[in-house]
Amino acid sequence: MYDFKGKTALITGAARGIGRAIALELARGGASLAINDVNESAAQEAIQLALQAGSPKAQFYPFNVADSAACDAGVEKVVADFGGLHILVNNAGISIDNLLLRFKDEDWKKVLDINLTGAFYLTRAAARPLMKAKTGAVVNIASVVGEMGNGGQAAYSASKGALIALTKTVARELASRNVRVNAVAPGFIDTPMTQSLPEAAKTKMFEAIPLARLGTPQDIADCVAWLSSDKASYVTGAVIRVNGGMYM
């Protein structure tokens, strides 16, 4: 467990899955939480769990990460409500899968707007309060397919690959102000989506993973907590692969 007492974390897509696991892990360390998501009922449930886990304060912020003005206003409200911002986790994301020749323009735009442009908007909006915090940390949730590609996921893999490039550039820009910017690249994670796959698809998935198991949301949360903490004070511009050896 890491010490996040006195720190505020804004986590996007934090109502369920990986985002919720990250929120709860930071809560165990005593972080105050700004929970962003589009699912209010799930977000409110995550807030109650976070408070039970040890967060002194947790609130819901339903702004759209793909809206620049909404991101600016959302960060401004978080800072006003909590008195500052120390950690930003850009976790919100969607995947619309199809073969290149069948991919629709609007689907390409939607995936990049949320996965990539949303992270850009929020990081830009959060940069000043993070610099003011003097120990700011940004963690972007990328993906193994952002490094290795995957058939049928042109938009998703492009958005995650670009997110890695954004991570490295912003890390260079903000390092002089002691704001660290890193990325976590998950592999296949055990979620309701992967649980519903046919057994043949699961078998093929396992064969591609040297550790022969799916990752868990907690695997990702543990890595994000470390990168967000003072224990990783000399780590910036890194991409941490949490993928069971699927891509090395």
pLDDT of residue 225: 98
Is a pLDDT exceeding 90 seen at residue 133? yes
Among residues 61, 121, 156, 247, the one annotated as catalytic is 156
Across 217-224, average pLDDT: 98
Task: Tell me whether residue 173 is in a domain.
Answer: yes
Task: Tell me whether residue 143 is in a domain.
Answer: yes
Q: 19 pLDDT band (50/70/90 cuts)?
A: very high
CB atoms under 10 Å from CB of 1, counted, come to 10
pLDDT of residue 204: 81
Task: Tell me whether residue 120 is in a domain.
Answer: yes
Total domain count, the chain:
1
Task: Tell me whether residue 198 is in a domain.
Answer: no
pLDDT in tens, 151-179: 999 999 999 999 999 999 999 999 999 99
Is a pLDDT exceeding 80 seen at residue 194? no
Q: Which domain does 36 fall in, by range?
A: 8-190+217-239
Judge residue 180's burial from the number of C-beta atoms within 10 Å of its C-beta, 0-12 exposed, 13-18 middle, 19 or more buried.
buried
Task: Tell me whether residue 21 is in a domain.
Answer: yes
Task: Tell me whether residue 146 is in a domain.
Answer: yes
The Cα 187–Cα 145 span in angstroms is 8
121 tagged catalytic: no
Is a pLDDT exceeding 80 seen at residue 23? yes
Task: Tell me whether residue 163 is in a domain.
Answer: yes
CB atoms under 10 Å from CB of 30, counted, come to 17
pLDDT in tens, 38-73: 999 999 999 999 999 999 999 999 999 999 999 999
Across 70-85, average pLDDT: 98
pLDDT of residue 201: 72
Task: Tell me whether residue 210 is in a domain.
Answer: no
Kindly report the CATH number assigned to the domain that includes residue 91: 3.40.50.720
pTM of full prediction above 0.75 = yes
Q: 195 pLDDT band (50/70/90 cuts)?
A: confident
